[in-house]
Amino acid sequence: EVQLQASGGGLVQAGGSLRLSCAASGFGLEDSAIGWFRQAPGKEREAVGCFSNTDGTRYIPDSVKGRFTTSSDNAKNTVYLQMNSLKREDTGVYYCAGLKSIGCASWSQDPNWFNIWGQGTLVTVSS
């Protein structure tokens, strides 16, 4: 069974950091793009990053550029989202999603392109 599992969320003070993990099972990430999305209550799902092992590309939206980065550990079949200088507005449920054999670019801001989704992990940033 193809699955993604996001983890690493929690409660953090504003200005702090968290690293989220997205572990894959049932398929390898070496030829996939993994997108990161978040959803706050009452808001639409928003893209916060993409990492592709297919061609090594990354895409970070302007809204979080300079604070969020993505990386991958193929040995662990895991992609990471490093979040620094967290703000209260970063609060939400964070999801990872996969699409095989493609690089990341501006298209990766649209969650409808991704066809493998994991359960989310809650990030709460307090002031």
The predicted model gives 67-93 an average pLDDT of 96
Res 86 pLDDT > 90: yes
pLDDT tens-place string over residues 29-59: 999 999 999 999 899 999 999 999 999 999 9
Statement: residue 1 has pLDDT above 90: no
Whether the predicted pLDDT of 27 surpasses 90 = no
pLDDT of res. 100? 92
The partner residues of 11 in beta bridges, in order of sequence, read: 124
Tell me which residue of 19, 28, 31, 75 sits closest to 57, measured CA to CA: 31
- Bridge partners (DSSP) of residue 39 are 93
Q: Residue 107's pLDDT is what?
A: 94
Q: C-alpha dihedral over 62, 33, 37, 27, to 10 degrees?
A: -170
CA dihedral 81, 86, 90, 93 (to 10 degrees): 50
DSSP-assigned beta bridge partners for residue 69:
82
Give the pLDDT mean for 101-127. Answer: 95
Report pLDDT for 50: 97
Check: CB of residue 89 under 8 Å from CB of residue 25: no
Q: What mean pLDDT is predicted for residues 82-111?
A: 96
**DSSP result, 27-85:** S-GGGEEEEEEEE-TTS--EEEEEEETTT--EE--TTTTTTEEEEEEGGGTEEEEEE-S
Q: What percent of the chain has pLDDT over 90?
A: 93
Would you say residue 113 has pLDDT above 90?
Answer: yes
Pairing of strands 121-126, 10-13: parallel
